[in-house]
């Protein structure tokens, strides 16, 4: 075991996977020589050579298109899109090629591809470095979508994604890269200072895709969260003094509906929280699933706490985020509804 931040855990997952399987190749913008803008691939090119860890031109379409071809012919590419905001030129390759390859070839070809993307805000990156586009991937049949909330899960889920025979979108919350931020604050606190690490196994292990984690047991209300919002949910529940059951979804697709159903039927109340914009966000899908599975057990309407329906506001970044105060208020309102 070793104390690691999420960055270090992701780097360790790459290292373990590349050592275990020579078919694993890593590439993207500044991924090789520099080790990635967030240093998630630092040292890999030096250890494994330029044929297995290399830099690419500034072309997201080209990066993913090349990776799809590699995957179809037996390699296991792990590519980095420098920021999730940059994936749009590659969306056709992701949705029309990677996601459909198994089906359109009747299983003759598969696409064991992982596309890593730093996601979300918290670094004052503005409109083009802070988006949370997970809903655009969960809408595409054939893709898996993963978003970890801590270093242990980040490594285990990434290794599971690399082993998966189908394409996986792996979203990494930037606010958690250097350790969980202080979730009790509604304003930035030492965003880039290493704060908290986790004991992570230095060897090989996987965490199954499609299995949620119950962060804390509770009987009053269920909070469905993922990524950075898991930490906000913990802070908000404590602030509101509510016995909340907090579920870290970890994988949005495939989604662990059994854990969700069991929790909501027990508590009778549910609040969904995510950083992305509200309209057509993944929270809407979660609300629909809870409604379908738990309608007769609900004692109050399902609440959604999300980012604003606006282009990402640089100057008002920490008001845009669902913070502990806003979430705590929603928890109390939901508890008071009869």
Q: CB of 18 within 8 A of CB of 44?
A: yes
DSSP bridge pairs for 223:
246, 271
- At 213, is the secondary structure helix, strand, or coil? strand
| Catalytic option among 14, 129, 231, 274 | 129
285 and 162 within one domain: no
Percent of the chain with pLDDT over 90: 87
240 and 193 within one domain: no
| Model pTM score | 0.94
pLDDT tens-place string over residues 206-215:
999 999 999 9
169 and 24 within one domain: yes
279 by Cβ neighbours in 10 Å (0-12 / 13-18 / 19+) ranks as exposed
pLDDT tens-place string over residues 85-125:
999 999 999 999 999 999 999 999 999 999 999 999 887 78
Stated as kind and residue range, the H or E segment containing 76 is strand 76-80
Nearest-5° Cα angle at 292, 225 to 260: 30
pLDDT tens-place string over residues 150-198:
999 999 999 999 999 999 999 999 999 986 555 555 555 444 344 457 8
- Could you confirm whether 129 is annotated as catalytic? yes
The whole-angstrom distance between residue 91's C-alpha and the CA centroid of its chain comes to 18
C-alpha distances (whole Å) from 18 to each of 13, 23, 53, 268 are 8, 8, 10, 46
CATH number at residue 6: 3.40.50.970
pLDDT tens-place string over residues 297-337:
999 999 999 999 988 887 888 888 899 999 999 999 999 98
- At 321, is the secondary structure helix, strand, or coil? coil
Q: Which of 200, 227, 244 is the last residue of a domain?
A: 200
Q: Is residue 244 part of a domain?
A: yes
Instruction: Give CA–CA dist 120/118, Å, rounded.
Output: 7
Closest Cα to residue 191, out of 174, 204, 203, 208? Answer: 174
237 and 331 within one domain: yes
Is residue 142 pLDDT above 90, yes or no?
yes
Domain count, the chain: 2
Q: Is residue 207 part of a domain?
A: no
Instruction: Give CA–CA dist 61/67, Å, rounded.
Output: 10
Q: CB of 265 within 8 A of CB of 221?
A: no
Q: CB of 98 within 8 A of CB of 68?
A: yes
Q: CB of 29 within 8 A of CB of 63?
A: yes
33 and 176 within one domain: yes
Number of Cα atoms under 13 Å in the Cβ half of residue 317: 17
CA 292, 295, 301, 303 torsion-angle sign: negative
pLDDT tens-place string over residues 239-254:
999 999 999 999 999 9
Q: Is residue 208 part of a domain?
A: no
141 by Cβ neighbours in 10 Å (0-12 / 13-18 / 19+) ranks as exposed
Cis check: omega of the bond before 254, within 30 degrees of 0: yes
CATH number at residue 308: 3.40.50.920
- Domain interval for residue 324: 213-336
């Amino acid at each position: 075991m070793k104390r690691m931040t999420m960055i270090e855990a992701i780097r360790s997952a790459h290292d373990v996977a590349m050592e275990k399987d020579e078919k694993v190749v890593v590439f993207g913008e500044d991924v090789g020589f520099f080790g990635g803008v967030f240093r998630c691939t630092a040292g890999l090119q030096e250890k494994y050579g330029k044929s297995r860890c290399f830099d690419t031109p500034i072309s997201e379409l080209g990066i993913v298109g090349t990776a799809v071809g590699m995957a179809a012919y037996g390699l296991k590419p792990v590519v980095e899109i420098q920021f999730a905001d940059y994936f749009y030129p590659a969306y056709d390759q992701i949705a029309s090629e990677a996601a459909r390859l198994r089906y359109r070839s009747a299983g003759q070809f598969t696409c064991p591809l992982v596309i890593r993307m730093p996601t979300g805000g918290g670094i004052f990156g503005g409109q083009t470095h802070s988006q949370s586009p997970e809903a655009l991937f969960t809408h595409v049949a054939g893709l898996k979508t993963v978003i970890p909330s801590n270093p242990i899960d980040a490594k285990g889920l990434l290794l599971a994604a690399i082993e998966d025979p189908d394409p996986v979108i792996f979203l990494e919350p930037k606010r958690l890269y250097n350790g969980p931020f202080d979730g009790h604050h509604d304003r930035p606190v030492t965003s880039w200072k290493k704060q908290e690490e986790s004991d992570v196994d230095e060897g090989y292990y996987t965490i199954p895709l499609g299995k949620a984690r119950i962060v804390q047991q509770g009987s009053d209300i269920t909070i469905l969260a993922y990524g950075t919002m898991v930490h906000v949910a913990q802070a908000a529940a404590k602030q509101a003094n509510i016995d909340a059951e907090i579920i870290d979804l970890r994988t949005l697709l495939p989604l662990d509906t059994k854990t969700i159903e069991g929790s909501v039927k027990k508590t009778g109340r549910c609040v969904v929280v995510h950083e992305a914009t509200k309209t057509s966000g993944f929270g809407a899908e979660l609300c629909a699933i809870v409604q379908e599975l738990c309608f007769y057990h609900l004692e109050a309407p399902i609440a959604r706490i999300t980012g604003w329906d606006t282009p990402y506001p640089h100057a008002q970044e920490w008001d845009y985020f669902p913070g502990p105060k806003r979430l705590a208020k929603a928890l109390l309102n939901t508890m008071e509804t009869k």
